[in-house]
Amino acid sequence: MIGNLGLKLRTLAGRPITSALKRSAAGQLLLVVLSPLLARLYTPEDFGTYGLYSNVLGVLVVVASMRLELAIPSAQSNRDATLYVMFSLLSSLIFSVLFIIALSIYSCVFTIYRTDILYYGWVIPLSILVSGPANCLIAWSLHHRQSRSVGKIFLLQSIQTATIQVISPLFVNGPIGLLISLTFGPAGGLFHAGTMWVKRLRRIDLSIDLMRNTFLKIWHFPVYAVPASLIARMAVHAPVPILFGLYGAEFAGLVILAQRVIGLPTALFGRVAASFFQQYLGNSLKKKHDATKGILGITFLLGSIGGITMIVTIIFAPDFFSLTFGTSWRSAGEAAQILAPMYCMQLVAAPLSQAQIIAHRMSGQIKVEIIRLLIVCLSIFVPNYFEYSPYYVLGTYSIGMTLVYALYVLAAFRSARTL
């Protein structure tokens, strides 16, 4: 299965990516294999706190990095791509400093509103400082045809994350081990890519005029792509914090574990597929080629994987979770059943979701993201208002997001036909 996907993506992107795909799959599989152990080292409340911070981070990193990893695939030169990484690093650094200042002021002035959750606030700026530039370095490595390096980065990120999450409970209690992995996990494997980027940067004769002229080529990304991506990330990451607030850390923790397991196909294939599809679409944009054939191929392939996973999850999930993680986690299996259709469509839509941004059709992407966020909010708050059960709320959310992901696929086909 992995080899077939690698062959298909290699055909689409023109890159020897089989090795990258296998390494990424191995790393993500490691995280899922360790989940039974983690379920015994951490409580549902710990997973709920981890889910809250990881989802907040997923939203903020979009603003911090200015979404410049999407500009790198269509960069007109290696120099431009190298400078885009520098812009992302500077932006992430500034945002992190501002966040620390804001958090310090809040902690000092509004002491009455402080909760235990805020005690882990230091995780956010440190994680932003790593995650934003890390995404750009991966895109930069692909731009320089370093497919094997990308696979190594994905694998080492997973290994470093897993190591931190497993070892930390030996020294500290609570969710700290999970939270620390948000900061140091993404740094795994970036030393080589970072070293190569620094060498490239040193060869550039930097000047204010050069940086200004280069930034003017991508000014529309922070102006248009950031709002579109911010709305998209809010739609993706808002549900867990909302469920945390409505139903408590325990229910949110059950949902987090369900997402971790049922999201395995997306974790195994989606990230690599997205990285190489972005590069493929960027090349098609520069050469004015129709990308429809490539989208059809990746849609069919990922849809087949997602469909099989959905059927297996619906039939076996509760018994699997009870047997693997313990009887206290059986409810997580029931949550996985409910979310199965959504994750099937997410696997297909994830690589295609940024097609309009890469194709420089920002207004269309913003419209899609606004619709998505509205559906997320309505699907959660309306049934909650009428006091339906948390699992009923989860079901309406799953249905709504399944329809939204189908809309993503249609939007991607539209962008591909009109490159």
Tell me the residue range of the domain where 335 lies: 2-417
The answer to whether residues 384 and 325 touch, using CB atoms and an 8 Å cutoff, is: no
Q: What is the pLDDT of residue 154?
A: 82
Query: What's the total number of domains in the chain?
Result: 1
pLDDT of residue 6: 46
Torsion of CA 83, 88, 92, 98, to 10 degrees: 80
Tell me which residues of the chain have a pLDDT lower than 70.
Answer: 1-22, 24, 109-118, 147, 267-294, 351-365, 412, 414-419
List helix spans (H) across 238-361.
239-247, 249-262, 264-265, 271-287, 292-325, 330-349, 355-358
Q: What is the pLDDT of residue 305?
A: 80
Task: Say what the pLDDT of residue 63 is.
Answer: 85
Question: Is 419 in a helix, a strand, or coil?
Answer: coil
Of residues 192, 122, 206, the one with CA closest to residue 157: 192
Q: Is the dihedral of CA 211, 360, 401, 312 positive or negative?
A: negative
- The pLDDT of residue 143: 80
Cβ atoms of residues 126 and 57 within 8 Å: no
Structure tokens at 390: 């948390």
Q: What is the reported pTM? A: 0.75
